[in-house]
Amino acid sequence: MEFGTLKYPNLQSAWQHEALHFTPWLAENLSKLGEVLGLDLELESQEHGVGAFSLDILAHETSSDRRVAIENQLYATDHSHLGQLVTYAAGVDAGIVIWIAAKFRDEHREALDWLNRGEGTTTEYFGVVVELVQIDDSKPAVNFKVVASPNQWSRESKLKAAVAQQNSPKTEMYKLFYQSLIDKLREIHSFTNSRVSQAQNWHTFPTGTTDIGYSAVFTGKSNIRAEIYIDAGSSEQNASIMGLLHEKVPNAQDNFSETLEWEALSNRRACRIALYRSGSILKATGDEARVYEDWFISRLIKLKEVFGPHIASAAQSALLKPVPGNSGADF
């Protein structure tokens, strides 16, 4: 067997300028980074102002509802960027900080490890090397390598600290149920990058459009709910997004055995498109837990299949040309 030669092209051959070329590329490909880190990342903004400075990328981790500060370099790490990273993290109250560079100096990798070991903080720090790889004359491919991260014990400790005031037997049941659910959605269905569940009654997955997500929810009324949750603008804009989705998929109900509910929530800004069935976290054990899992998985996948291709265009249309009206409009 004949093998090719592995090459590592210079990063500047793909991105000549960090701010003008690499940052926009990364903003459009956060899912590639999220896949390596086990995070569901959605873009909030580029060159986000923090005082007199600018954070390269501000993102949102949908499964844990945390802000993510991302700083990148097309060369080796340096002390000034380490200081900027901490400043940005404080400035945006980041729960996750990601430093991307062509090469990590040992002292900077050790600094991130030290920050991850810190007591009294729930912030997680990741160091990621970005490189181009090529076999002979093939097209170059982007490769992310994690060189610093919170270890599993540290991550679990920080997450437990973040929900310490909420801990109860019920919240632990939520955590166990959703851990199994997201593992199946990730490993079998490639629906999410998320790897760690939260001790709460819902879990949200990205749609690719900021502030609109797919969610699996245990309600307070002995029901479970699979939904598209829309909170991307004002109440009028959110209602407009939902109305546009109704127009774009007029026969959506034909894809579901349950009634598809179009809910403009009068007591809040958001809207949702939802499916319900009976269920309770107190019954989510053994065979019943698997029934709930299967229901959530099939409905979330079907919601994505039916509405996913239209969400971005509906949001863009509604936010560019808001439609006046009452958020309680009946669709």
Whether pLDDT at 200 is above 80: yes
Per-residue pLDDT, 280: 92
Cβ-based neighbours of 116, under 8 Å, separated by 6 or more: 124, 125, 148, 149, 150, 151, 154
Beta bridge partners of 275: 226
Whether pLDDT at 53 is above 60: yes
- In angstroms, the CA 318 to CA 322 distance is 5
Confidence band (pLDDT; 50, 70, 90) for 4? Answer: confident
Per-residue pLDDT, 199: 83
Assess contact for 260 and 252: CB atoms under 8 A: yes
**Averaged pLDDT of the chain:** 88
Per the model's pLDDT, the better-predicted residue between 102 and 327 turns out to be 102
Assess contact for 128 and 33: CB atoms under 8 A: yes
Per-residue pLDDT, 322: 46
Whether pLDDT at 150 is above 90: no
Confidence band (pLDDT; 50, 70, 90) for 298? Answer: very high
Whether pLDDT at 325 is above 50: no
Average pLDDT for 305-328: 76
Whether pLDDT at 85 is above 50: yes
Weakest-pLDDT range from 15-24, 217-226, 241-250, 314-323 = 314-323
Average pLDDT for 103-121: 87
Confidence band (pLDDT; 50, 70, 90) for 159? Answer: low
Q: How many other C-beta atoms are found inside a 10 Å radius of the C-beta of residue 233?
A: 18
Ranked by mean pLDDT, the top range of 142-146, 199-203, 318-322 is 142-146
- In angstroms, the CA 24 to CA 187 distance is 29
Sequence ranges of the chain with CATH classification 3.30.1460: 166-320
Per-residue pLDDT, 25: 95
- DSSP label of 316: H
Whether pLDDT at 47 is above 50: yes
Confidence band (pLDDT; 50, 70, 90) for 156? Answer: low
Pair of tokens at residue 54: 């600018």
Ordered DSSP codes for 236-281: HHHHHHHHHHHHH-TTGGGG-SS--EEEE-TTSS-EEEEEEEE--G
Confidence band (pLDDT; 50, 70, 90) for 155? Answer: low
Tell the CATH topology of 6-159.
Answer: Trna Endonuclease; Chain: A, domain 1 (3.40.1350)
- In angstroms, the CA 321 to CA 303 distance is 25
Confidence band (pLDDT; 50, 70, 90) for 326? Answer: very low
Confidence band (pLDDT; 50, 70, 90) for 278? Answer: very high
- In angstroms, the CA 276 to CA 299 distance is 10
Per-residue pLDDT, 151: 73
Q: Does domain 166-320 have CATH number 3.30.1460?
A: yes
Assess contact for 76 and 101: CB atoms under 8 A: yes
Assess contact for 128 and 144: CB atoms under 8 A: yes
Assess contact for 43 and 210: CB atoms under 8 A: yes
Whether pLDDT at 48 is above 70: yes
Could you read off the pLDDT of 253-265 as tens digits, one per residue? 999 999 999 998 8
Whether pLDDT at 310 is above 60: yes
Cβ-based neighbours of 52, under 8 Å, separated by 6 or more: none
Sequence ranges of the chain with CATH classification 3.40.1350.10: 6-159
The residue behind tokens 């609109």 is: 212
